[in-house]
Amino acid sequence: MDAIELVDLTKIFPGKKGARVKALDHLDLRVPQGEVFGFLGPNGAGKSTTIKILMGLIRPTQGQARLLGTPATLPQARLTTGYLPENPAFYDYLNASEYLTFIGQSFKLDTTTIAARSETILHRLSLWEARKRPIRSYSKGMVQRLGIAQVLVHQPEIYILDEPMSGLDPIGRALVKEIILELKAAGKCVFFSTHITSDVEAVCDRVGVILKGKLQTVQEVGTLMEKGITGYHIRHRMPGQEIFKESTIRPEELQVFMTNIFQSGEEVILLEPLRKNLEAFFLSIVSQGSSNDQ
């Protein structure tokens, strides 16, 4: 059974003056348990709409969404799911400690479990010092980190995170990536939206690119990175010499080039693949998608 299943998902919002906004257009996607999936797309692509349908916050016009086989419209689908909204808002007169207790109680955890988990999580997200201060006094980054914290309390099987790295400084981003990789190691499914390709490169098994409500492509990130090799950069020199040579060659030249180097007795100091990064791949899909409209 897949962790996430989206079948023929379509959402039409009523727009201004009777116009209709097609936010999702027959989207099909399955994400197995244990996978980290990056949902990549520009602003307005339909990422949050998909996520809100998955969390049962809005209903699709057509199609179905299921979490571990349970329709997303049923409340029990939420029991095994953690959700970070795009712009998390909290009862800001509470402090972080109280908020996590409230979340733990909502999931019917006992007091001892809530206290133990809260302590670990608050330390992990650097909120321990601030835990007794009202949330209203928190910075944007702290609020975002509390958003991540509240997802972890009930230790769900599936994590649905709407732009989890947004509003965080580099340390916060690195921490969130580390947490995502730990969840993956624990066999959980993490589905997160982003418009930043380097976040996908760092943690995802697969990436799906969404544009104007349509899923353009789903790819293995590892394969994409391999396919993207455009050449090699090689630093080499004769043994005992101070000065080294730098060469940049095309992929098909590698074998002959390396054979020549070894035959001439040179040593290789660095061999680095040059690749078209995920950013270039993403941009090419976005520009193709836009030109298809015309």
Ligand X SMILES: Nc1ncnc2c1ncn2[C@@H]1O[C@H](COP(=O)(O)OP(=O)(O)O)[C@@H](O)[C@H]1O
Q: How far is the CB of 127 from ligand X (least distance, A)?
A: 26
The C-alpha atoms of residue 154 and residue 249 are separated, in whole angstroms, by 52
Q: Which does 104 bind (CB under 5 to 8 A by kind): ligand X, Mg ion, none?
A: none
Q: How far is the CB of 195 from ligand X (least distance, A)?
A: 8
Does residue 41 interact with ligand X by CB under 6 A?
yes
* Residues 47-86 as x/- pattern, contact with ligand X by CB under 6 A: xxx-------------------------------------
* Residues 9-38 as x/- pattern, contact with ligand X by CB under 6 A: ----x-------x-x---------------
Q: Which of 104, 169, 160, 170 is nearest to 141 (CA)?
A: 169
With respect to Mg ion, which residue has the nearer C-beta, 84 or 103? 84
**Order of strands across the sheet that contains 62-67:** 20-31, 4-14, 62-67, 70-71
- In whole angstroms, how far apart are CA 153 and each of 17, 81, 133, 166, 294? 44, 11, 19, 21, 47
Q: How far is the CB of 120 from ligand X (least distance, A)?
A: 31
Query: 282: number of CA atoms within 13 Å, CB side?
Result: 21
Q: Which of 48, 81, 95, 150 binds Mg ion (CB under 5 A)?
A: 48
With respect to ligand X, which residue has the nearer C-beta, 155 or 166? 166
The encoded tokens of residue 230 equal 């455009």
The C-alpha atoms of residue 243 and residue 246 are separated, in whole angstroms, by 10
The encoded tokens of residue 85 equal 């909204």
Per CB under 5 A, residues contacting Mg ion are: 47-48, 86
Residue numbers at the binding site for ligand X (CB under 6 A) = 13, 21, 23, 41, 43-49
